Chain A
Amino acid sequence: MLSYFSNPQRFDQLARTLIPIFGALAAILLGVGVYLSFFGSPPDYQQGETIRIMYVHVPAAYMAMALYAALAVASFVYFVWRHALADTAAEVIAPIGAVFTVLALFTGSLWGKPMWGTWWEWDARMTSVLVLLLVYLGYMALRAALEDAQQAARTGAILAMAGIINLVIVKFSVDWWSSLHQPASVIRFDGPTIHSSQLWPLAIMAVGYTFLAGWLILYRLRSQALRRRARTLQRKREQAARAREEAVS
């Protein structure tokens, strides 16, 4: 399937079909999700109205991690099979993932202050998510710093794959170390431990975030294809001009 869609035309056709579907699903799910977050769910018996922070905090944190996993997979595919599309996907995913990571940290801080009494704590979960942000930013800076596109792609891929270690630490930090942050309550072997009145808005928001991220990635991939076409055209033109010059002289 991978080689099937690595054909640029076929991928473009698939992206064209998926973009409006993803966009519509994101809009509907986020609309319903916002409604349920405020009007379809009760205040928490311990946390009161601050529970409504969860409905954007958890999806943002989940996207920060899921997009990093996607970045690492795309990097691996590029590294092994040298698919240009996989590299472009990695390039496009990184800043989106970084924005979700900032959101996770920011909304977590705004939740931590009223519930834990602190904006920030250097514990395993928070520190590893901050490291996740630094890995995203480091990846983007590395790519921007290397002139040679191929070298940027290859070095970036290695960094992205190495960063998987940190992603594992983020996921299990709440189990391995005692932390202010609560352990997993949705994705766990014995099923979710939060009440369905809170699970529904949370799940709908999370799926909405996922489709929005999918929309952003596909939409940006198509823009990058346009840019690549422009670059090729430019290069051809320069070659033609050089050839003319040589013919004259």
Chain B
Amino acid sequence: MSAFFDMGGYAAFVWPTWGVSFAALAGLILHAVLERRAARAALRRLEDDEA
């Protein structure tokens, strides 16, 4: 198991690569979801005012 995490001595390069890639993709998804929520909330506010 520790051999796996050691990555043949290249742990300092392999894990940050994957960690940052994962974080960036997760960030893109999160941003898209928050953007949708904000857009929906803004539209709902306007429509509620209308009624």
* A contacts, CB < 8 Å to B: 38, 43, 48-50, 52-53, 56-57, 60, 96, 99, 102-103, 106-107, 110-111, 113-114, 212, 216, 219-220, 222-224, 226-227, 229-230, 233-234, 237
**Nearest chain B CB to A226 CB, angstrom units:** 4
Evaluate contact between B24 and A103: CB separation under 8 angstroms: yes
Q: Could you pull out 30 A-B pairs where Cβ atoms are within 8 angstroms? A: A48-B9, A49-B7, A49-B8, A50-B7, A52-B7, A52-B17, A53-B13, A53-B17, A56-B17, A60-B21, A103-B20, A103-B21, A107-B20, A107-B21, A111-B17, A212-B25, A212-B28, A212-B29, A216-B32, A220-B32, A220-B35, A223-B32, A223-B36, A227-B39, A230-B39, A230-B43, A230-B46, A233-B46, A237-B49, A237-B50
A233 to B43, CA, bound (A): 8
The majority secondary structure among interface residues of chain A is helix
Q: How far is the CA of A227 from the CA of B44 in the complex (A)?
A: 11
Bound-state Cα–Cα, A146 to B50, Å: 31
- Distance between Cα atoms of A234 and B13 in the complex (Å): 51
Contacts of B25 in A (CB 8 A): 212
Contact B17 A107, beta carbon cutoff 8 Å: yes
Q: A99-B24, A99-B28, A220-B32 are in contact. Are A233 and B50 (CB under 8 A)?
A: yes
Closest chain B residue, CB of each to CB of A37 = B18
A223 to chain B, nearest CB (A): 4
A103-B24, A216-B29 known; A56-B18 Cβ under 8 A: yes
- Within the complex, which residue of A60, A114, A220, A229 is in contact with B10, where a contact is CB–CB below 8 Å? A114
Q: Chain B interface (Cβ within 8 Å of chain A)?
A: 4, 7-10, 13-14, 16-18, 20-21, 24-25, 27-29, 32, 35-36, 39-40, 42-43, 46-47, 49-50
Partner of A227, one of B10, B16, B27, B42: B42
Report A-chain residues with C-beta under 8 Å of the C-beta of B14.
Answer: 49-50, 52-53
Indicate if the CB atoms of B43 and A110 lie closer than 8 Å: no
Nearest A residue to B11, CB-CB:
A49
**How far does the Cβ of B36 sit from chain A's closest Cβ, in whole Å?**
4
Instruction: Tell whether, in the assembled complex, residue A96 and residue B24 are in contact, meaning their CB atoms are under 8 Å apart.
Output: no
Chain A: minimal CB distance from B38 (Å): 8
Given contacts A99-B24, A223-B35, A226-B36, contact A57 B17 (CB under 8 A): yes
